[in-house]
Structure 1
Amino acid sequence: MTLACVQSRALLGLAAPAVTVEVHLANGLPSLSLVGLADVEVKEARERVRCALQNSGLEFPNNKRITVNLAPADLPKDSGRFDLPIALGILAASGQIPLEALHGWEFAGELSLSGALRPVRGGLVSSLHGGDQRLVLPLDSAREAALAPAAQVFGAAHLLDVVAHLLGQPGGEGWQRITAQAPVHRASGPDLADVKGQVQAKRALEIAAAGGHGLLLVGPPGAGKSMLAQRFSSLLPAMTEQEALESAAVASLAGRFDPQEWGLRPTSAPHHTASAVALVGGGSPPRPGAISLAHHGVLFLDEFPEFARSALEALREPLENGHITIARAALSSQFPARFQLLAAMNPCPCGFHGSTQRPCRCSPQQIGRYQGKLSGPLLDRIDLHVHVPALPAQELLQAPTGESSAAIRQRVVQARQRAVARQGGANQQLHGQQLEAVLQLEPAAHALLHKAAERLAWSARATHRTLRVARTIADLAGGEGIASAHVAEAIQYRNVLLKN
């Protein structure tokens, strides 16, 4: 047989379209040609495959003209994931393995020059789209791919392990059927009890965790903003299996999946020098950015105004709709980005505007320019704005240990369960008629909110987000309706920059 077809999959965003690797052997000048819109990494497979076959004791047809076609031809292919299917196609076309043994299987894996299989990114993405096909991957990639429900995943350590199985020979330790493991919730991050004082900031963290709201912490240097943010993930409820799969799929696509973090909500904390592409994703082919890596988790942006204006403004759409679309001339890819934004900033360039500990050296113009780096539409999309004051030394040293993350998380879980039972999701996701249907706003609370929105010149978005926060506060209190006290507390979490 001089023609063989091997099934594999490419990566296109969070999709894994099927690719047929066609290998044809013909008489002519010895060569190995790759066609089918292959990227540089794929074209380099010619040398890797040749050396891997020869060093594994298999025959490479040096006297043949070999043509490898990656179909469909208009689909971009990148990375070394096609090394294994190309090698198997050459073996099948040259009669070293039976062609019928390849039916019902999909293969992906990068080959070393010795024939050992190296991990490839996107193993979980491939298995989620694999259907009934049996998928063969390098062992590390197979372990993440097996997390997909009902997936038939096999791991191999070496090319010879795959060949032996296709020939019906007993497999060694390098060939394994990989089974999935159930997600187990573990509290992530340090304990909030380490933070002394800062009662209002801790309360804001609890509200944000219960409702899925974004949070902006504003205060002088050393007040504890970063310390609070680092402990936020320990308050979040456990991920559902679907959320864990979605989060792991993005990490797998980026090549950052860690089995030890399966079931843990991710925290992405890019440096303030990160570009807009690093934050929201991009490149060619498009790759997920920090906001997608924080899917169903936390995106922490320290030194918030120091980020590039283009990077911050790119957050506006995903904060509203929970996904980001990377559009290019040839193709576009959509990545999920339903994250909780947690931002921290100083109120001015020197950091001490409004502080009672040290005088501020900044002029009003400098303060205005610094805070003006954050646009009104972006601040509107952050539900909670909290001032974090610097604690006096006496209070810091003598303050008792605060409430633990476990105790707060218990209230957060109960409030989130009320919201899910009522509307099927967190309060932050409420929009339009759905928001109006679950408010149950008391008349006094309605009048108070109307007066606040009118006096503070809130936009419609700011008003609606205040209502969502009030709904979360009511859920934490165990109330069915939203009272005036709930609305009053929600009102104080807006426009904190204007108070300093």
Structure 2
Amino acid sequence: MALARTWAVGLDGIVGGLVAVEADLAAGLPGTTVIGMVDAAISQARDRVRAAVQNSGIRWPDRRITLALSPASLRKSGAGYDVALAVAVLAAAGVVPVNAVEAAVFVGELGLDGQVRPVRGVLPSLLAARDAGRTAAFVARDNLAEAALAEGMTVRGVRTLTDLIGYLRGDDDNLLRPHDADDPPVGRTPPDLADVVGQPEARTALEVAAAGGHHLLMIGPPGAGKSMLANRLPGILPPLATRESLEVTALYSVAGLLPDDVPLMSTPPFVDPHHSASMASIVGGGTGTIRPGSVSLAHRGVLFLDEAPEFARRVMDSLRQPMEDGSVLIARSTHAIRYPARFQLVLAANPCPCAAARDLDCSCPGLARRTYLARLSGPLLDRVDIRVDLPPLDPASLMSGERGEASATVAHRVRLARERSAHRWRGTPWRCAAEVPGPIVRRHWRPDRAEEDLLERAVRTGRLTGRGYDRVLRLALTSADLAGRPTPVNQDVVLALALRSGEAL
């Protein structure tokens, strides 16, 4: 009997765990059995692996082969175990030294010709392997740039199974190192806020939203600039910190959407699904493997829902829980997966179904107008910090050719405000005002008597709910951060209340 073991990684969402891949070659009727709570893709791997080995010029062992993936309690799916299975069989057969494969992690899919193909989730897989004490990994060539992000791991890119066998034998070294990978092209420059004509109130609302991480609703006729403003929000947000970049990159890797132009996503993502999107595409899900949805792909960035009333109401209401928790739990009958979803929501809507530029031109009955915006439920809107009404563009603004402030200028103020906010909440898990729970905000700062009277009247008249009161306090803190004040003053509270209630600034 011959026995060998290699290592792979199993992913549960973006959380990985080491998987021991053991190969046992015994006397008996030739055949291959794969055990260990595996899906169809891994069960079929025995045929892919056998063809890849034979087409690489290696004789397949004429023995009874048992391949076990443990721990057996961990669900395993996908073709990323192919290379680990092949190497385990070859080590058990004596083709490669057993001691050359025991400490490394192997991630990749095999083609029938022996080519090693890229797979999803390489970065979170290697981060999990590193945390488990592994220091070396072999991945497909096309995954090498992503794999190199796992600092502390020695990674090699593999083109073919033949190259890997030669390396493990010590015959030759045809494997790629991270610096051998092609240099990625430079990413695209984000659109500039200077392109937006007019709309000073909306620009102020956008800046406050960026500085505090607040959710935003914009209502206005077509052509008022709602989409342009939303598309320019990522350009004024601070770059992602290292930990945040790895989180976002891991999510896009698992989803198979990691951009080709950058191995590490260092800028806030911008996700804008179509209004026909399903619940599973927004929240996450799918048959078999549960994949992240738009709320997770927008993690640490912006989720923009244009024509928000056109989305299905149950889809919109499904946003409420991740907006509060910063994560989404997707449950199935046998297991559940939690994905991070700390996104900044931006909603855009027309004032009515006909989307007339002026109220005088609107042909919608009053009931139709009320019903249209009522598709956005009260509990959802109560979680949106800022509401701003955009008027039609002034012809004089269009003809003047004047440009507003550039994104770089606004981004500088936003960065300083974020730094002040991070200093205020140092020693806590929060970094910007929108993340801080209401009770903590109220203990940290209470308005003066005049400001408190103003807010009390708003609550009594129904302009503010209890949740809305807390959000006004957060907005006031953000306004103070933008102005460089340690605590809010009356004008910050007035601005916050106007932003919250959708009044003119």
In the TM superposition, what whole-angstrom CA distance separates every residue of 1:43-93 from its partner, at most 9, and x where no partner exists?
2212221121111111112x3222212222232211110110111111111
8 Å contact kept, 2:54–2:60: yes
Q: Which amino acid aligns with 1:281?
A: G
- Which aligned segments of 4 or more residues in structure 1 are displaced greater than 4 angstroms? 177-180, 185-188
What is the identity, as a one-letter code, of the residue corresponding to 1:67?
T
Q: Distance in 1 between matches of 2:385 and 2:150?
A: 34
Counterpart position of 1:98: 97
Q: CA deviation at 1:295?
A: 0.8
Aligned residue in 2 for 1:343: 347
For 2:447, the aligned partner's letter is L
What one-letter code is carried by the residue in structure 1 that aligns with 2:68? N
Question: CA deviation digits over 1:390-429, x for unaligned, max 9?
Answer: 1133332225111100001111001110000110301101
Distance 1:151 1:444 in 2: 59
**1:122, CA displacement in angstroms?**
0.7
Task: Give matches, 1:99-248, under 5 Å.
Answer: 99-131=98-130, 132-133=133-134, 134-172=136-174, 174-176=175-177, 188-248=189-249
Residues 197 and 399 in structure 1, CA contact (< 8 A), matched pair in contact too: no
- 2:244 is the counterpart of 1:269: no
| Aligned counterpart, 1:328 | 332
Partner of 1:464: 470
1:211-267 per-position Cα deviation (integer Å, ceiling 9, x unaligned): 001111111112111111111111101211111111111111111223526311111
Deviates more, 1:452-461 or 1:2-11: 452-461
Q: In structure 1, the residue corresponding to 2:11 is in which secondary structure?
A: coil
1:488 alignment counterpart: 494
Question: Which residue type is aligned with residue 50 of structure 1?
Answer: R
**C-alpha contact 1:324 1:334 (8 A) present in aligned 2:** yes
Contact 1:442 1:482 in 2 (8 A): no
Structure 2: which amino acid aligns with 1:252?
S
Of stretches 23-32 and 480-489 in structure 1, the one that deviates more from structure 2 is 23-32
Q: Percent identity, please.
A: 42
- Which SS does the other structure have where 1:78 is aligned? coil
Q: Is the 8 A contact 1:127 1:146 kept in 2?
A: no
Q: Is the 8 A contact 1:217 1:343 kept in 2?
A: yes
Which residues of structure 1 form unaligned runs of 5+? none
CA root-mean-square deviation: 2.3
Of the structure 1 ranges 327-336 and 430-439, higher mean CA displacement relative to structure 2 is found in 430-439
Is the partner of 2:227 in helix, strand or coil? Answer: helix
* Cα distance in 2, alignment partners of residues 494 and 186 from structure 1: 36
Moved more, 470-479 or 251-260: 251-260
2:256 partner SS? coil
**AA paired with 2:278?**
S
CA 1:96/1:186 → structure 2, altered by over 3 Å: closer, same or farther? closer
| Closer/same/farther in 2, CA of residues 200 and 187 from structure 1, 3 Å limit | farther
Q: TM-score, normalised by structure 1?
A: 0.94
The runs of 5 or more residues in structure 2 that have no matched partner are: none
Question: How far apart, CA to CA, are the structure 2 residues paired with 1:151 and 1:439?
Answer: 46
Question: Distance between the aligned counterparts of 2:447 and 2:32, measured in 1?
Answer: 71
Q: Give the match for residue 59 of structure 2.
A: 59
* Equivalent residue in structure 2 for 1:473, among 475, 479, 487: 479
Q: Give me the whole-angstrom Cα distance separating, in 2, the residues matched to 1:169 and 1:453.
A: 77
Cα 1:397–1:80 shift into 2, 3 Å: same
Q: Does the CA contact (< 8 Å) of 1:415 and 1:472 recur in 2?
A: yes
2:256 & 2:81 partners in 1: Cα distance? 16
Contact 2:8 2:81 in 1 (8 A): yes
Hey, what's the Cα distance between the residues in 1 that align with 2:224 and 2:372? 19
> CA 1:322–1:6 in 2, change beyond 3 Å: closer, same or farther?
same
